[in-house]
Amino acid sequence: MKRGITFGTFDVFHYGHLRILERTRELCDYLVVGVSSDELNFSKKGRNPYYSFEERRRIVGAIRCVDEVFKEEALELKADYIRQYHADVLVMGDDWTGKFDWVKPLTGCEVLYLPRTPVISTTALIERIRS
Ligand code: C2G
């Protein structure tokens, strides 16, 4: 059984989020998702997510193709999470291209970057709704 892992904030869950999860699940038999903690999101983006960690965790966990969800506390812990969840493949959107290649030699886990779904993003959505 092939186990896949992916990570994200998944704030204001949208179609691009659904597609990365569905496409990752097509590459494996069991999908584990690391949802960023509020603190990790703040350190990456300089703002708090619109939805709290608990809300984002529940939304991602309710998606049919997602088998398991956990809290991602730091980007640097990727190799530990991969070992903990016995992941065979790490999938991220291509805005992260090259950023997590370092886990392959440490864990043997394959690393893939899939094209982002065009146009949609949480930031763009929030800006459009605001204006
Ligand atoms: N994504 C996508 N298409 C979009 C928007 C997002 O494919 N239009 C993908 C991103 O590339 C990412 C995932 O959806 O793989 C989650 O996106 P974000 O919630 O923006 O995640 P991010 O804040 O980049 O957190 O350890 C990595 C981080 O936790 C990733």
- 95 CA distance to ligand 1 middle (Å): 8
122 neighbors 101 (Cβ within 8 angstroms): no
d(CA 51, CA 38): 9
Q: Which atom of ligand 1 is nearest to the CA of 115?
A: 7
Instruction: Please tell me the pTM assigned to this model.
Output: 0.96
pLDDT in tens, 13-58: 999 999 999 999 999 999 999 999 999 999 988 989 999 999 999 9
Query: Which residue's CA lies nearest to atom 7 of ligand 1?
Result: 116
pLDDT in tens, 47-91: 899 999 999 999 999 999 999 999 999 999 999 999 999 999 999
In this structure, the residues whose C-beta lies within 6 A of any atom of ligand 1 are 7-10, 16-17, 20, 36, 72, 75, 92-93, 95, 116-117, 120-121
d(CA 38, CA 63): 20
Query: Which residue's CA lies nearest to atom 12 of ligand 1?
Result: 93
> Of 39, 41, 35, nearest to 57 (Cα)?
35
- 13 CA distance to ligand 1 middle (Å): 10
Show the 3-state SS of 55-88.
HHHHHHHCCCCCCEEEEECCHHHHHHHHHHCCCC
